[in-house]
A = this chain, B = another copy of it.
Amino acid sequence: MSLTDIRYDAVMGRWEPDARGRLLQAAFELYVERGFEETTVAEIAAKARLTERTFFRHFTDKREVLFAGASDLQALLVNLVLNAPAALTPMATVRAAFIEAAAFFGEQPEFARQRQRIILSSTELQERELIKLATLASAMGGALRERGVKEPGASLAAEAGVTAFRIAFDRWANGPTQRELAGVMDDVFIQLRSITSET
């Protein structure tokens, strides 16, 4: 018996609770079972015992469901940058932030991997992921600027960090399960330094 089989009981309020959560779960399950493009918003809504219109009140579009955690991750990383020891260089700040944030995914590695598989299956979703990462880089660049880093250094450090993160994440998501994300990221950041310093 899965969670969606829990039936609604007349004792409760006017509506079955947690509409957003039900939509999240219904969408994720359907994206896994049938694929993203083959899944219709009407199907997601039906599975969550809601209407299509309600889906669009909770998520601006069909893709956003998969990026519900993005703003939390961004807030976390921005805070890590803002609160990093003042002595750190921009690049070290960004790197430390990402390595600490690795726990964000480490908690549910299976979920993270499955989500990544879905995203890889659809160009539309990859586009959305890229713009989320670009927004993230922009926010981290802003945080660096608040620490007094000038342009274009702030943007470059943030963008380079996001790039390293992305490559590390891909390797981790598709590589052997036992490897820790933080460790992969560490390697990639080291490689980034060595590759960019050779002129």
Contact = CB atoms under 8 A, between A and B. Distances in A.
Interface of A: 89-92, 123, 126-128, 130-131, 134, 152-153, 155-157, 159-160, 163-164, 166-167, 171, 187-188, 191-199
Contacts of A130: 127, 130-131, 134
Contacts of A198: 89-92
A199 B91 contact: yes
User: By DSSP majority rule, is chain A's interface helix, strand, loop, or mixed?
Assistant: helix
A163 B167 contact: no
**Copies of this chain:** 2
Contact of A196 (B127, B167, B187, B197): B197
Contacts of A163: 156, 159-160, 163
B196 A196 contact: yes
A92 B199 CA distance: 5
22 contacts: A89-B198, A89-B199, A90-B195, A90-B198, A91-B195, A91-B198, A92-B198, A92-B199, A126-B134, A127-B127, A127-B131, A130-B130, A152-B167, A152-B171, A152-B188, A153-B191, A156-B188, A156-B192, A156-B196, A157-B195, A159-B163, A160-B195
